Amino acid sequence: MMTDSNPSTKKKTWKTILLLGATGQVGYEIKKALDQQYLSDPSTNTRLFAPHRLELDLSQPDQIRQKIDEIKPDLIINLSGFTRVDAAETHQKEAHHINAVLPGLIGELAQHLGAFVIHYSSTFIFDGQQRSAYRETDTPNPLNFYGETKLLGEKALFAACAHHLIIRANWCYGDRTNNFAKTILKLAQEKETLNIIEDQIGSPTWARDYANATIQLIEDPQKLRNNPGIYHLSAASSASRLAWATSLLDEARPLRPQTRWAQLRPTTTANYPLVAKRPLYTVTNNEKINKTFGITLPDWQMQVKTFVRSLNNTL
């Protein structure tokens, strides 16, 4: 049997990956995918560190510096974030540190090591006033404190580290932590009617598909390093929150035929006031990431179908 003795033709892989935020929606899915990939192929010799919040307190800069200096990652994937949009208005210090300050610290340490950083941001940096899909070059104008901190985090990372890729995510959901999809499926089994907003438009995107896209990105370290910058990524096509909720229940009913599911009634953002103001339109144009890395996510309805079926007995 012939073997390739030329080291230059061997596929380059990461030596050490540090995953921050591994207990969140996307972070959990990424960790699971990385475990499967590298445990099944030990020849890569890639080390993965995904410290729990009890092992690494992200509110303590000295702990972060010590951990990164200790393991010396060449890839840092940052999924940590204060994602409770309404709570961010009243917990501003905590939200600002995690969303705005931490990315800059990570970037500073990564720059020193020559490491690459993949950082997840949010489409809530936009005000939702336009009605054409947002491109990476469109001007941000956040409406709430959460969006402000996510934008500051992008700027801090950009200023600190040349080797980074920022993914702006849209309407992410999964089977972990509280999110719109889980809340709708729960409340629809408990109530007779639910009022759902129909004038907010976005692209519901399953955390597992974000994880799959991240795995695809890191498969070619050199290509990733050659194409830093900001990228929009979300499910194909768009929907209102009402259409999203309707699709969730359409997929769930056959799995629970004995359940009396709630009737959905349309309402508007104006009739459903929340602490933090929401942008009415956050659809993104995903051409850049497709042309650069060949990444296209499935249609949002297909993702909903797969997500609901994946819940099995926990629905």
DSSP E strand stretches across the chain:
16-20, 47-49, 75-78, 116-122, 164-169, 172-173, 193-197, 201-202, 205-206, 229-232, 239-240, 263-267
CA distance readout (Å), 51 to 20, 40, 54, 115, 248: 7, 21, 8, 18, 33
Pair 141, 124: CB distance under 8 Å = no
Distance from C-alpha of 41 to C-alpha of 121, rounded to nearest angstrom: 31
What pairs with residue 285 in β-bridges?
none
Handedness of CA 299, 229, 179, 139 (dihedral sign): negative
Q: How many CB atoms lie within 10 A of CB 98?
A: 21
Instruction: Specify the 3-state DSSP secondary structure of 306.
Output: helix
Q: Which tokens sit at 133?
A: 């899909």
Catalytic residue among 28, 38, 134, 146: 146
Q: In what helix (H) or strand (E) does residue 107 lie, and over which residues does it extend?
A: helix 102-113
Judge whether 146 counts as a catalytic residue. yes
Distances, alpha carbon 123 to alpha carbons 72, 120, 155, 172, 313, in Å = 31, 10, 15, 11, 32
Nearest residue to 33 via CA among 194, 208, 281: 208
Active site residues: 146
